[in-house]
Structure 1
Amino acid sequence: MARIALFISLITFPLMSFATPKTWLDTSFVKRAFLEVALKNEYSSGDKPLVKWQQPIKIWVKHKVADQILHDELVDAHLLHLQKITGHSISRVSTRKHANVIWIFTRESLWQQDISQEIGKDALKHIHGAICTASYRVSVKNKDIVRATVIVPVDQSRAHGKLLACIVEEITQVMGLPNDSQLAYPSIFNDRTPDDLLSPLDVVLLKLLYEPSLKSGMSKSQVSDQIDILLVQYQRDGILKNAVNVSRSAPLWKILE
């Protein structure tokens, strides 16, 4: 199967103080944010086709560092929330051969080696200033995501106070929302957002992505037409208003309390 790859990294920026507007209630804002986050990526210009998973996501986690119990707890909590929001099947598997997502907790001294081995040497040119990274591969034929990799150097991400952000953002982006954008706020796809967990806007973006009417390979105009229809339904059914509750129901919030 021919595949193309996309690389994603979390880069730190100084945080700025913003009032938090309820942007997820504004359908025009949500639409613009979705088109920016889902149909663009930071390493090439222009609009891309929509990509998402069709097959169940099966994740194998390799630990090259200590604190395995903590890392597993954080991963499992976030995966449970992603599955609840999207309705897509996401599970952990015990062997690498049964996985389509390889997730490695490593250390900074091994990070470049792990990236070269798991993603490819070309990915090294994208990690300047990054503290963790991810990549996914899509089928050229239908644009379904078929494999992904997440690599988190724990010592490096902890040094920046971003271990939780790496866990949340990298696996969320390989769901099919690859681009960071200043047009999405508050959002984990905006590096100036102070919170590390999914915002109400992120909840809406993820739910939209996994609506059956949005299909892999759709163009910007096709996606735009469907988003208009879906957001009318979301507004009417109270989904936009309830996004705050869904965001705050994240199992990770309970762990952090």
Structure 2
Amino acid sequence: MFPLYRRFVFLALLNCTFAASADYRWQQPSYLVQAFTQVALRNEYSQQGRVVRRWEKPIRVWLDHKVGDKSLHADLVRMHITHLSSLMQHPISFVSSPEQANLKIVFTQQRDWAEQIGQLFGEKAINVMHGAVCMANFRVNSRYEIESAAIIIPVDQARMHGKLVTCIVEEITQVMGLPNDSEAVYPSIFNDKTPESLLSGLDGLLLKMLYSPELRSGMTERDVKPFLNKLIRNWQNDGTIKTANRDIRSGELYPLLGY
């Protein structure tokens, strides 16, 4: 746990927000299924996909620091991937070299951002960087299993917009297999109009759906709906949906940011 003075540095520097919504429409079964469809089975910049894409193998993370504050960034990433691993029940760990990694997270500067996007994502990705604060991408194999991913965060740009934590949380979560942003999903970090810097209760449920043992990579919308309907009924009965907003705050980032 961070010393108290560092917590104040975090809050002043990152200007993060977390707002609990009083609108609980997202707890309705039909809303949850539709939210999963929008976020997991769609692509932000392409109509391709429309199937479940997720990691089937352990995720091995390498942090590439091209700027200062190495320990700060590492701590933020560690807190979030620990939370994700718990929600997904899927192993995520750091590795000691880039050769061992299948998820690379680059902390860089805005002046070098375009060059690094071209190197990691390809030259075409540079065309969609304008207006973005940070970027991520993942690659799948023929079975739609995610095999590798990369995230680029220009730290000076993210801090200028007060979105360093948001970039870390949203981009890492998206490369878990929830790649699409949608204004139809609220409250969620995948909705640009939601004042969320951290995962909402809805986001936690979406991750649990995606990594449910009943689902597998390559399943279509028609394939997943019966399993999701059954899972959501079970969650209604055992209280998982009702307590989702409270349970999501078990992550270390929440008390760190004052929640």
The reply to whether TM is greater than 0.5 is yes
Q: Say whether residues 1:215 and 2:251 are aligned partners.
A: no
- Structure 1 window deviating more from structure 2 (46-55 vs 156-165): it is 46-55
**3-state secondary structure, aligned to 1:146:** strand
**3-state secondary structure, aligned to 1:239:** coil
Query: What is the 5 A alignment of 1:1-257?
Result: 20-45=22-47, 48-140=50-142, 142-257=143-258
TM-score, normalised on structure 1? Answer: 0.90
Aligned match of 1:7:
none
- Give the Cα separation in 1 of the matches to 2:25 and 2:211: 20
**3-state secondary structure, aligned to 2:244:** helix
- Give the Cα separation in 1 of the matches to 2:223 and 2:118: 36
Gaps of 5+ in 1: 1-16
**3-state secondary structure, aligned to 2:133:** strand
Is the Cα–Cα contact under 8 Å of residues 24 and 200 in structure 1 kept in the other structure?
no
**Per-residue CA distance 1:19-45 (angstroms, 9 max, x = gap):** 641234211111110111010112123
Is the Cα–Cα contact under 8 Å of residues 58 and 99 in structure 1 kept in the other structure?
yes
- Structure 1 window deviating more from structure 2 (117-126 vs 128-137): it is 117-126
**3-state secondary structure, aligned to 1:151:** strand
- Give the Cα separation in 1 of the matches to 2:105 and 2:48: 29
**3-state secondary structure, aligned to 2:137:** strand
Q: Which runs of 4+ in 1 moved over 6 A?
A: none
1:128 is displaced (CA, Å) by 1.5
1:47 is displaced (CA, Å) by 6.2
**3-state secondary structure, aligned to 1:189:** coil
Larger strand proportion, structure 1 or 2? Answer: 1
- Give the Cα separation in 1 of the matches to 2:138 and 2:191: 20
1:206 is displaced (CA, Å) by 0.4
Is the Cα–Cα contact under 8 Å of residues 24 and 204 in structure 1 kept in the other structure?
no
TM-score, normalised on structure 2? Answer: 0.89
Gaps of 5+ in 2: 1-18
- Give the Cα separation in 1 of the matches to 2:242 and 2:256: 25
- What is the letter of the counterpart of residue 94 of structure 2? R
- Give the Cα separation in 1 of the matches to 2:208 and 2:190: 15
- Give the Cα separation in 1 of the matches to 2:108 and 2:180: 24
- What is the letter of the counterpart of residue 144 of structure 1? E
**Per-residue CA distance 1:207-252 (angstroms, 9 max, x = gap):** 0100011110001101112111111111111111121122111110
Is the Cα–Cα contact under 8 Å of residues 59 and 103 in structure 1 kept in the other structure?
yes
The number of residue pairs the alignment matches comes to: 241
- Give the Cα separation in 2 of the matches to 1:163 and 1:189: 16
1:18 is displaced (CA, Å) by 10
Q: Indicate how the Cα distance of structure 1 residues 55 and 46 shifts in structure 2: closer, same or farther if over 3 A, else same.
A: closer
Compute the RMSD of aligned alpha carbons. 1.7
**3-state secondary structure, aligned to 2:241:** helix
- Give the Cα separation in 2 of the matches to 1:226 and 1:183: 22
